Amino acid sequence: MVNGEKIFKIGLGYDIHPFSEGRKLILGGIEIPYKKGLKGHSDGDVLIHAIMDALLGALGLPDIGFFFPNNNEKYKNIESSVLLKEVLKMVKEENFKIENIDAVIIAEEPKILPYRERIISNLSYHLSISQENISIKATTNEGIGFIGKKEGIAVLAVALLSKEKKYEG
């Protein structure tokens, strides 16, 4: 019997990638016009990677490197949205639903604001949740460190999951 109570779980994800010549810049599954892309075994989409780690963390599972190792040729240059689909299967197998996603993109360049709505729309589609339940923010590192020197991008993401609490009786 279900009495309407919910179980909530929260997960935190983080990813960082350096810029690389000759690659497309993909964030949230959207190509962003920029002179460099992000280095990575897959497409280097730090936003989706951080979201995936947040979802896995909420489930109490290991990180994406455990499930999609960077030494497996199967994942070479794969679109991160394909990997996200696999993580969503894990969420559904545990009978959880995504309540919301909150992420911060940390980059000096490029400016994220012009692409924010497209990113949210694309993530909404891939996560099967309302756009109102996705928050994407961007900030700089104020010229400090690796990111401040325009050498890469980092993302922090939080995911809140819920499921109905079941009682026997």
**Is residue 150 scored above 90 in pLDDT?**
yes
Q: How confident is the model at residue 168 (pLDDT cuts 50, 70, 90)?
A: low
Give the three-state DSSP class for 91: helix
169 pLDDT higher than 50: yes
CATH placement of domain 9-164: 3.30.1330.50
Domain boundaries along the sequence of the chain: 9-164
- Helices assigned H by DSSP within the chain: 46-58, 64-67, 80-93, 116-127, 145-148
Could you report the per-residue pLDDT of 35-72, keeping only the tens digit for each?
999 999 999 999 999 999 999 999 999 999 999 988 98
Q: pLDDT for 103-120, tens place per residue?
A: 999 999 999 999 999 999
Give the C-alpha separation, 152 to 39, whole Å: 9
